[in-house]
Amino acid sequence: MRIVRSRSALSEQLNAIKSDGESVGFVPTMGALHSGHLALVKHAALENNHVVISIFVNPTQFNNPEDLKKYPRDVDADIKKLEELQDVILFLPAVSDLYPKEVRSKLIDLNGLDKVMEGEFRPGHFDGVATVVSKFFEIVQPTRAYFGEKDFQQLQIIRLISKNQFPGIQIIGHPVERNRDGLALSSRNQLLSQEDQKKALLIFQNLNWAKLQVPKLSPDTISHSIIQNFEGSALEIEYVQIVNEDTLQKIDSWEDVKSARIFIAAHISGVRLIDNVSLF
């Protein structure tokens, strides 16, 4: 593994690789790496000659300053998890590399994909995501870029950005990685006690229950039932949404929908968790 800490150093490495006609996979992360991130890196390594993984806690995608402050960071531990990997470049940019003039998001038309679910409850979040991903794509110019489906709304937004601005980059979605009990892997899980992680399994249990109710129950009935299932639990529901996978718009019936997905966001012990599963 090679570590680079500046945009210019990364460009020097990538120019040498690309001059030989070799492919580059890109895995952007915010660090606090877990086996879900490593699965993305392995996926990228299978399909490319080289992999760039970035670690950068992007300030513009946090609408809550306290959330940014407490986001887990441990670059030394992250490096240890990656150091045995071959043909991997770890990019550790400074804020000034990504935001040389001012730390501010660009306003990018995301065709309404940013107005629902995460966009509704975290205003400005996807402006920050779209801004930093665009910057990374300009710097790395990868053959393929890899994103986990746990952040499925983000994945759909990045697919749109790539289609409109970076058509030469192939966007690859990777299935949600879970622990043996079914909890979606997340850097934020490190902020939870083992007991809270067990309680958080209620999210995945209800997602699986929802899948079994299609098409017997309507989308609204399923959503309302899940909200009731969380009453009296340790988790506070933020939203339950069943949407068209392509448009991310809420659906009221199963008719004329080719693919649907259910999303849950909830809080436990001050930590916000999200998860989703495909219904069909």
Catalytic sites, residue numbers: 37
Please name the residue ranges forming H helices in the chain. 7-19, 35-47, 65-70, 75-82, 95-98, 118-121, 125-140, 152-165, 194-199, 201-212, 219-230
Q: Give CB contacts under 8 A, 24+ apart, made by 206-209.
A: 206/230, 206/264, 207/262, 207/264, 207/275, 207/276, 207/277, 208/182, 208/277
Q: Which residues of 179-194 are buried (b: 16+ CB within 10 A; e: fewer)?
A: eeeebbbbbbbebbee
Give, in order, the Cα–Cα distances in Å from 156 to each of 17, 21, 80, 94, 201. Answer: 29, 29, 31, 27, 25
Cβ contacts of residue 224 below 8 Å, gap of 6+? none
Residue 212 burial (C-beta neighbours within 10 Å; 0-12, 13-18, 19+): exposed
Sheet hosting strand 271-278, strand order edge to edge: 236-244, 260-268, 271-278
Helix (H) / strand (E) element for 89: namely strand 88-91
